């Protein structure tokens, strides 16, 4: 799902994207000529690998996401809350995929290893 910077105004534009069992929803609004603010959340079930026994299992995720999207090159590369889209097109699937990758890169323990019935990943 791609949205052009030019199609986003100061009034928030809602979006909803589903990838496998994960839903990415929220609003996009223009902050200034080169910056769009993303205010959203990721919810759903994600297959991860247990870091203790190596078994795949499904974990429920639910987390807010706040990002600035810029079509200008960012000077401060340490700020991970800004993503560059230099061609002026926002790729929501790319954002969702990188959020999923960063969740997957965290430590996860399956129910058996964690010993908790209702296991949620807290970020
Ligand atoms: Zn395990």
Cα dihedral: 69, 74, 80, 82 (round 10): -10
Task: Give distance in angstroms: CA of 120 to centre of ligand 1.
Answer: 14
DSSP for 29-79, please give it.
Answer: EEEETTEEEEEEEEEEEEEEE-TTT--EEEEEEEEEEEEEEESS--S-TT-
Residue 93 C-alpha to ligand 1 middle, in angstroms? 30
Distance 46 CA to ligand 1 centre (A): 15
Residue 64 tokens read as 């807010």
List the pLDDT tens digit at each of the 123 positions of the chain.
899 999 999 999 999 999 999 999 999 999 999 999 999 999 999 999 999 999 999 999 999 999 999 999 988 778 879 999 999 999 999 999 999 999 999 999 998 898 655 555 665
CB atoms within 10 A of CB 18: 12
Q: Break the chain into its structural domains and give their ranges.
A: 2-114
Task: Specify whether the CB–CB gap between 51 and 108 falls below 8 A.
Answer: yes
Distance 20 CA to ligand 1 centre (A): 23
């Amino acid at each position: 799902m791609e949205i052009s910077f030019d199609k986003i105004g100061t009034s928030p534009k809602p979006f909803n994207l589903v990838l496998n069992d994960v839903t990415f929803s929220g609003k996009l609004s223009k902050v200034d000529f080169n910056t769009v603010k993303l205010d959203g959340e990721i919810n759903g079930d994600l297959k991860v690998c247990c870091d203790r026994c190596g078994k795949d299992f499904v974990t429920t995720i639910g987390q807010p996401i706040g990002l600035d999207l810029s079509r200008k090159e960012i000077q401060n590369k340490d700020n991970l809350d800004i993503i560059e889209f230099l061609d002026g097109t926002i790729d929501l699937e790319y954002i969702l995929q990188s959020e999923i990758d960063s969740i997957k890169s965290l430590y996860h323990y399956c129910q058996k290893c964690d010993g908790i019935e209702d296991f949620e990943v807290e970020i």
